[in-house]
Structure 1
Amino acid sequence: MAQRVLLECFTRAVGFADVASVQPKVVPVRALQLELSGFIVMADWIASNEDHFSGIDTLDAISLEKARSRAEKAWTELGLARGWGRIGEPSVEDFRSRFQAEPRSSQRVAIECAAGMGGPGLMVVEAPMGEGKTKTALLCTEVLAARFGLDGVFVGMPTQATSDPMFTEVRAWVAEVDPNAASQVALLHGKRRFNKEWQRLSGVDAAADFGFVSVGEDEYGLEDPYGSGDFDPCLSERPQRTVPAEWFMGAKRGLLAPFVVGTIDQLLIAATRTKHVMLRMAGLAGKVVILDEVHAADVYMSEFLVEGLRWLGQAGVPVILLSATLPPRQRRQLLGAYLAGARHSESLDLPPIPDRPGYPRVTTAWVSAGSEPTIEQSVAPAWRSEPLKVRIEIAAEEISLTQLLQHRLEDGGCALVIRNTVARAQQTYEELSAVFGAEVRLLHGQLHVRQRAEETDRCLELLGPRRGGPQRARTIVVATQIAEQSFDVDADLLITDLAPMDLLLQRIGRMHRHDGVLRPPELRVPTVVVTGFSPRGEGVPDFEKGSEYIYGRYPLLRAAIAVLRDRDGHWEIPAQVPDLVAEAYDPDSPVPESWAGEVGEAYQSWRDDQQKRADKAAPFLLTRLGEHGNPTLEGLHRGSGTYVSDDDVRVRDGEEGIEVVLIRRDEHGFRSENRHQLGSHGEVADEVLDHVLGGTLRLPTKLRGAANASLRPLDGWRDDPWLRYSRALIVDGDGRGPVGDYRIRYDQLLGLVIE
């Protein structure tokens, strides 16, 4: 009764006669209902902060005017701000001032396509590696924001490592559009405390940055179930910050910041049946969404991507997808999901998708009010004056890589060697460094955080382009898939294990990436040497076991067909990229007659596995099959019982590894991995925290169970907000230690070695 009276009084206070007169004449679409729910939660969390909204003792102090005054005061004190507001529509010529570069033909075409869209919609930009897709997307974002009144952007990257340089690039771009808005760019991932630019801009050190935690990571920091904890108002001075307000940095609130750079996981979890999903969707409202390297989403991740695109399509949020190697079937699936959402339907009979020959290619799709979906496609010449003719060679497993490199690098040059497993990369590094010494570098995911960051920077420096400068010193970088995408190097020679065709082409994009680089005579013809399998005459080749375990037999068979067919020939890059990818994913593509039976069996097994992996995502998806056309949010979270806990949801397939912190123990007690002294029970002084956290290491999946059972925080970490949930991996002076029944060694050159 009291609630109804309060509701009636409030209704009259805001100008309505009664509750019935507030009823909407038209039910808003579900996406808008979800976004409004998120903004209500946001308002509730802000109002729950007693520092800004203390109790009221008398009825005389209650009025709508005073409530608005208190809300305005709290908003100002919290430092909440919008994005860039209304901006003018840029032209192709504005590209120069934004990026200090002349726009390429493909960039001009994409910008013109964005300007020609009849409503908020989906853009798919397919262009070769090194073509400048990111800059294209940023200026297209300006076009869409100006035309449709949007006030920010979310940029989703495939990994944390690729998010860091993108944060720098996006911040510089926002500053060119509106210098006052540059301070509103947020970096969202759990390792941002190690990003030097973020530390400098936020005015706080790593130890003080308790805020955002990335999806799927342990929530270090303070417990704050209502998301209301903020900077201590009792402090006399706030650190000077040039990043968004502290309020945005709390758990589940990051996407509400005006400009956001993070991993694609932030979008994927916005499509899950989690408790505060409405906050994430509210954060995407009014933004342009850019997703880079979308081809990297496997079948499991794609389920969440498709679901997210449905909701964004219904909400009228423009999305720009970037890829160098997008299979036609995947392109059609993504277009269909967005347009079905825009039409508020469960499924949609797509109009014919233009399939114009040529590459780079831009596809745009939108739904105008009361009309059928529109899909358009444009192509443009690549920026190179001539195609890159990449020579295809094969080195069977028995061939000596050392001898091959001694011959090819006799006159210097830079080689990139990509292996499909960490163990294989470590073995290759040991073999090569025995001959080439310090000219060999190693980069993979089982290095601790500090070493991996340092080694990445060093590799980028050694293999970076030096256009018009002197020839680079002889260098060999041995890496895993970490070098496959968003890794801006320009190798003279590529040696790579066989991988599915789209990934193989991504790796080829790391070589001869720039014109004007001085290369040794032996390496002026771009050459990829494919390893990791051994041809057997007319029969099916033998594949390296680790590669087959990771990728499956069928995709490797398809890639092997193309490599064997064209060996000692060449691929024209980028012209052949679409055809090579399409052929590799078309089950009707021709195969050698002697392979037909085995390829058929492998395809059936692969297809069944793909379906099982897609089905695994179903319990986590925000909307169940058959319910996308529902008019309201009723029952949205019910599914098989209730909503899914954030701790339980997985938007990436497979059991994840587990993070630990390397700690050394000697006769003096505990030390950080780089030998800074800790307290007798492992206590960590503020000035040492960065050194301790820099020793964070992700163990491989097979050690997860053993680590969960045997590794615990040090006693001195129990009250530390950063370390109390961290597992310590204690090693001796030689870097050796136990993980359950496993014996591991952390080698300063090789990284983690399982003995």
Structure 2
Amino acid sequence: MAALWGKSAGKAGGRKNVLLSHLLDTAAVAERLWDGFLAPSTRLVVDDIAGGPGKGRRFFSWLCGVHDYGKATPAFQRMWPEGAEAVRRAGLTWHEPLVARRRWRHDRAGGHLLCRDLAAAGWTEQQIDWVWPLVAGHHGRFPSRGELTPARTAKGHLAGTGPWPAAQRALLERFTTELGFENVTAVAPVRTPSRAVQLHLSGLIVMADWIASDERHFEGVDDPHRVTFEAARARAGKAWTALGLHRGWGSHDLPGSEAFRDRFGQDPRPSQTMVIEAARRMTAPGLVVVEAPMGEGKTKAALLAAEILAARFGADGVFVGMPTQATSDPMFGQVRTWLDRIDGDLSSRVALLHGKRMFNPEWRAMVAGSEEDDASRFGGVDAYGECLDDDPYGVTSSDPWDEPSATGPGARGPAEWFLGSKRGLLCPFVVGTIDQLLLAATRTKHVMLRMAGLMGKVVILDEVHAADVYMSQFLREGLRWLGQAGVPVVLLSATLPPRQRQDLVGAYLAGAMSREEYTAGGLPEPGGYPSVTAAWPEVPVGAPGEMEGRTEPAYLVDHGPGWRPDLSVAIDVLPERVPPPRTKRAEREAADEAAARSVADLLERELSTGGCALVIRNSVARAQRLYQLLRDRFGADVHLLHGRLTAGDRADRTARCLDLLGPTGGTEGRPHRLILVATQLAEQSFDVDADLLVTDLAPVDLLLQRIGRLHRHAGVRRPARLAAPRVVVTGTTALGGGAPRFPGVSEAVYGRFLLLRSAALVRQSLPGAERETAEAGWRVPARVPDLVAAGYEASDASLPPPWREATEAARTQWETTERQRAETAGASLLTRRGDREGRTLAGLHYAGRAENGDDASAEWLVRDGAPTVEVVVVVRQGQVPHTINGRALSVNGDVADELLEDLLAGTVRLPQSLTEAALRELRPLPGWRGHARLRYCPALELDSRRTAVLGDYEVRYDRELGLVERRLTAH
């Protein structure tokens, strides 16, 4: 037993680490996790599994430490020649030709040995069945029971024959008694946790293993006489201090009535009080759905509700998921300010999780202080197969934005350990894109780490209405797991279609009650707007015992007055000529040009005495074309914002727009006249105020989101002509007569059916139109819920008769497409249909995705559509590449430290039409290949005219228009 090695000398600081030492090191790290990291709710559940208060800590330590038991086999011990020779000298031999020809991973070997040896120790089959997958899956994927068995043709030599079984059992017994158990029999758990809790524990085991595998803190121990649990505890203590890992707020007192004013400097509005009281009245962890108008203060209400839910149900942190990277950045600052007012130390424990976080000045300042290259620790596959590319010292991170943090003096951000690939969600407080949660619901490698990062927190998801049918499959799957784990969740939305609200509540409750499916048919409809809908199981999740026998869930549904009075928004339509499909490009361009001139003429009339207009187009090309025409007429009063600007240009323009049209009035005051032309970027979490809105037609919920930018702020002086809020709808033919046509890009993005439903509602609102109410226009927000419900219903009763046949055909196509998209997403969901009542993690990764589940792949796994490529734009002047801002690099592209941020500011996402050519033709510059943050970044090299040919397209970067593409062949 003493001869068995766990880490080779090359992976343990120059000295072999005996296997028992690594098991004890990991168990000692687990104790540190228990004492200084795990949420109170997690500790309570593990105590209950282990047999009662005070018993969970040792059991958790044993679970973590036993993870590498499978290394006590010839299949592993032969992999390092020097270690193998010592094992043979100790009398543990094997038939090398038989073993060498067959691979048997040590994680699966560990599961196999535990099934054999725990049964011999008297564990029941039920106890063994949920424990072995934690060991067999600790390298990222959970095999089935049948996948554990070594190849029969090896004739037992992979697992070991002769003295091997006795040596293996002696190792297990020695490890167990070192931890203070009488024997292996005494370890047996008394309860079977839910599968979600098992997944949580699995992630924590991986975390403990990764920490204990860090040779910087855990040197090898080759003298078996020095291997004790006390020595391992000493090493773990030093490592814990050096890593600077920390929990969230620990035990958090229940906030009192004064907390809202203390946190946010104002008294809560009625709708905010409604949300806070719902959190106080819930008797178990559950789901809270908050629906309120834009600007009502949903986020502040959700943050205080999270405090209450955490205090009541033992959560130790918060994850705030936003729809986009752009919306995550301002939320990051808000969350830090909120936490700072609770405890000054907490604001440094917030991680920002998205691919562009290093462009966020606040985040960059937090993590400044270390120039260490993560690649040195995440770059190679172990020569002896010790890690088999499954832990942080054998994983090549494919995220070009990974960066270290300082943990020594001057560090102001989260501990460096949390910033590695796949570990960000483990940070106590996290703000990021919703993709982080969606990826935690996928059948990808190391998914347990992501889910463990969510469990033990309160989860807040903003603008959930933005999730389409594809993303919604992952959202509902994530809610199922969170419901089963007893994680409180708060969902925020301007409003939800009734069916979507019911589906989200049903998904959470299905998990909470461990059912395959649950239809929340008894969920009451809110009686008004704003509203709150809360749902939870009557018996607290995580309570002792099995999951059967739960009562039906409890519901709390309430509504209240909004903060601001309703706006009576006048609706108008500016129709345009939309050529039929398959029209020649020249004719389409002529029609688009005429449509742009119509908008320009409208703005010239409406802004004749000044005013600020927001124009939203459904594609970058439409926005660019309109901007060019308006710029010729209005000069510098026109601004352009869209997603094909470089990161630096986009950040600068966003900040400029917020300064000019934001709630504070900006440093220069509100301009006399301004026109902002934007794409869907202006649709959500974009706090600007427009006197006039001109927008392409979109589904009604998104149209209402855009209307949320209209007359948004109080106290703004407006020209008399624009004193009343008005929206002009473009992107459609005339709404009289037969069914209208829409630009092809709009139909491609939203589908014809939803656009027809939205157009019918717009048509009803026009002056002189036949309608159920006598009032023209829309009263916002009062009519928001019924407008959204009407926009998604299948009934054609409200449609003009000439539209009905076309709408029915569009509905059929839309339903078919939606079903196909849902089925496509289903192939990657963490659980398959029919497996959602499973009791263990065995086989969870069967037929799982090939992706490693790294941060860079997240967006394209959980978002529908073909992937696109981000590139860094450089401009060649002679032989020397320059940054987009004109600063010279070396001939090979080598980047001085002071030029790095300027270079990365030239990052831009290419349109999907260029993806294939970009993947085929673009590579990093030679000087980038060894650079931690550039080695994965393809360069788009432009000539002195700022153009390049990519596939069948000419691309150009214009400092006003952004990236412009032009097809070189007729189409």
Report the TM-score, using the length of structure 1 for normalisation: 0.95
Deviations 1:404-435 (A, max 9, x none): 11221122111000000000000110111111
Return the match for 2:335 from 170, 175, 190: 170
**How far did residue 330 of structure 1 move?**
0.5
Q: Could you list the per-position Cα deviations for residues 363-390 of structure 1 after superposition, in whole angstroms to 9, with x for gaps in the alignment?
A: 0000122432111101010001x21111
1:380 partnered with 2:588:
no
Tell me what 1:401 maps to. 599
Match of 2:728 in 1: 529
Aligned partners of 2:459, 2:604: CA distance in 1, in Å? 47
Greater alpha carbon shift after TM alignment, 346-355 vs 73-82: 346-355
- Flag the 1:470–1:113 CA change in 2: closer, same or farther, 3 A: same
The partner residue of 2:460 within 290, 300, 322 is 290
Provide the residue aligned with 1:368 in structure 2: 538
Q: Please state if 1:411 is matched with 2:576.
A: no
Determine which of 746, 759, 771 is the counterpart of 1:547: 746
Partners of 1:657 and 1:367 in 2: CA distance: 42
- Residue 873 of structure 2: SS of its match in structure 1? strand
Q: How does 1:165-244 map to 2 (within 5 A)?
A: 165-204=330-369, 208=371, 225=389, 226-227=391-392, 238=408, 240-244=410-414
2:19 counterpart residue number: none
Larger strand percent:
1
Aligned to 2:204: 39
CA positional deviation for 1:325:
2.3
Q: What is the match of residue 662 of structure 2?
A: 464
Closer, same or farther in 2 for the Cα pair 1:195/1:361, shift >3 Å?
same
Aligned-partner Cα distance in 1 for 2:696–2:306: 37
Deviation at 1:643, TM superposition (A): 7.7
RMSD between superposed Cα atoms in Å: 2.2
What corresponds to 1:662 in structure 2?
873
Do structure 1's residue 325 and structure 2's residue 504 form an aligned pair?
no
Q: Shift of residue 20 of structure 1?
A: 2.7
Specify the alignment match of 1:97 in structure 2: 262
Distance 1:640 1:76 in 2: 37
Once the 2 structures are TM-superposed, how far is the Cα of residue 542 of structure 1 from its aligned partner? 1.9
The yes-or-no answer on 1:728 pairing with 2:935 is: no
Give the C-alpha shift of residue 100 in structure 1.
Answer: 1.1
1:492, CA displacement in angstroms?
Answer: 0.9
Once the 2 structures are TM-superposed, how far is the Cα of residue 626 of structure 1 from its aligned partner? 0.6
The equivalent residue for 2:307 is 142
Q: Measure, in 1, the Cα distance between the counterparts of 2:614 and 2:422.
A: 39
Q: Is the 8 A contact 2:648 2:905 kept in 1?
A: yes
Amino acid corresponding to residue 325 of structure 2 in structure 1:
Q
Aligned residue in 2 for 1:215: none
Question: What is the SS of the residue equivalent to 1:83?
Answer: coil
Aligned AA (2:199) = L
Distance in 2 (alpha carbons) for counterparts of 1:356 and 1:196: 41
CA distance in 2, matches of 1:643, 1:229: 16
**Separation in 2 of the partners of 1:670 and 1:685?**
13
CA distance in 2, matches of 1:276, 1:105: 43
User: Residues of 1 paired with 2:641 and 2:414: CA distance?
Assistant: 33
Contact conserved, 1:351 with 1:373, CA < 8 A, in 2?
no
Contact 2:378 2:393 in 1 (8 A): no
Distance 1:78 1:683 in 2: 32
Deviation at 1:92, TM superposition (A): 4.1
Cα contact 2:618–2:746 (8 A) shared by 1: yes
Shift of 1:89: 1.4
Superposed, which structure 2 residues align to 1:646-725 within 5 Å?
646=854, 647=857, 650-667=861-878, 669-725=880-936
Counterpart position of 2:791? 584
What amino acid is aligned across from residue 509 of structure 2 in structure 1? L
Q: Give the Å deviation of 1:353.
A: 1.1
Distance in 1 (alpha carbons) for counterparts of 2:619 and 2:296: 29
The answer to whether the 8 A contact 2:407-2:416 is kept is no
**3-state SS of paired residue (2:871):** strand
Q: Structure 2 counterpart of 1:260, which letter?
A: V
C-alpha distance after superposition, 1:457-484 (max 9, x if no partner)? 1111111135799753211000000110
Q: What pairs with 1:246-645 in structure 2 (closer than 5 Å)?
A: 246-350=416-520, 352-369=522-539, 370-384=550-564, 386-397=565-576, 400-466=598-664, 472-535=671-734, 537-568=736-767, 569-590=776-797, 591-639=799-847
Check the 8 A contact 2:285/2:309 in 1, yes or no. Answer: yes
Check 1:117–1:440 CA distance in 2 against 1; reply closer, same or farther (3 A cut): same
AA aligned to 1:714 is: L
Aligned residues of 1:637 and 1:643 also touching (Cα < 8 A): no
2:263 is the counterpart of 1:73:
no
Q: Deviations over 1:226-278 (max 9, x none)?
A: 22599xxxx99946111110000000110111000110000000011111011
Taking the aligned partners of 1:400 and 1:348, their CA distance within structure 2 comes to 51
Match of 2:881, SS?
strand
Distance 1:685 1:223, change over 3 A: farther
Q: Which moved more, 1:541-550 or 1:521-530?
A: 541-550
2: distance between equivalents of 1:314 and 1:128?
31
* CA distance in 2 between partners of 1:642 and 1:541 (Å): 44
CA contact (8 A) 2:243 2:407 kept: no
Conserved 8 A contact 2:406-2:415 = no
Q: Secondary structure at the match of 1:540?
A: coil
Give the distance between the partners of 2:262 and 2:606, measured in 1 at CA: 42
Which stretches in structure 1 are left out of the alignment for 5+ residues? 213-218
Residue range with higher mean Cα deviation, 371-380 or 42-51: 371-380
Distance change in 2, residues 1:470/1:193 (3 Å): closer
CA deviations 1:660-710 (Å, max 9, x no partner) are 111101125211111111111111111111111111110000100011111
Q: For 1:220 and 1:581, how far apart are their aligned partners in 2? A: 51
Distance change (3 Å), C-alpha of 1:459 and 1:210: farther
Q: Identify if the C-alpha distance between structure 1 residues 604 and 644 changes in structure 2 by more than 3 Å, giving closer, same or farther.
A: farther
Offset of residue 714 of structure 1: 1.5
Aligned to 2:561, what secondary structure does the other structure show? coil
For structure 1, which segment, 40-49 or 510-519, has the greater mean C-alpha deviation from structure 2 after superposition?
A: 510-519
Give the whole-Å Cα distance in 2 for the aligned partners of 1:310 and 1:632: 15
The one-letter code sitting in structure 2 at the alignment partner of 1:290 is I
Cα 1:594–1:223 change in 2 (3 A) is farther
1:395·1:530 contact (CA, 8 Å) conserved in 2?
A: yes
Match of 2:40 in 1: none
Q: Per the alignment, do residues 145 and 536 of structure 1 end up closer, same or farther by CA in structure 2, a change over 3 Å counting? A: closer
Read off the aligned partner of 1:581 and give its amino acid letter: V
Greater length-normalized contact order (CA 8 Å, ≥ 6 residues apart): 1
- Superposed CA deviations along residues 439-498 of structure 1, whole A, max 9, x for unmatched, are 000000000110010011111111113579975321100000011001011111100000
Query: Which residue does 2:276 correspond to in 1?
Result: 111
Instruction: Determine if contact 1:193/1:209 at 8 Å carries over to the other structure.
Output: no
Q: Is the alpha carbon distance of 1:160 and 1:237 closer, same or farther for their aligned partners in structure 2, counting shifts above 3 Å?
A: closer
TM superposition shift of 1:211: 6.4
CA distance in 2 between counterparts of 1:667 and 1:351 reads 68
CA distance in 2 between counterparts of 1:356 and 1:682 reads: 59
Instruction: Select which of 956, 959, 967 maps to 1:748.
Output: 959
| Structure 2 counterpart SS, 1:655 | coil
Q: Deviations over 1:708-738 (max 9, x none)?
A: 1111221222222222222111111221111
Q: Which amino acid aligns with 2:321?
A: G
Tell me the residue number matched to 2:229.
Answer: 64
Q: Aligned AA for 2:948?
A: G
| Contact map agreement 1:49 1:229 (CA 8 A) in 2 | no
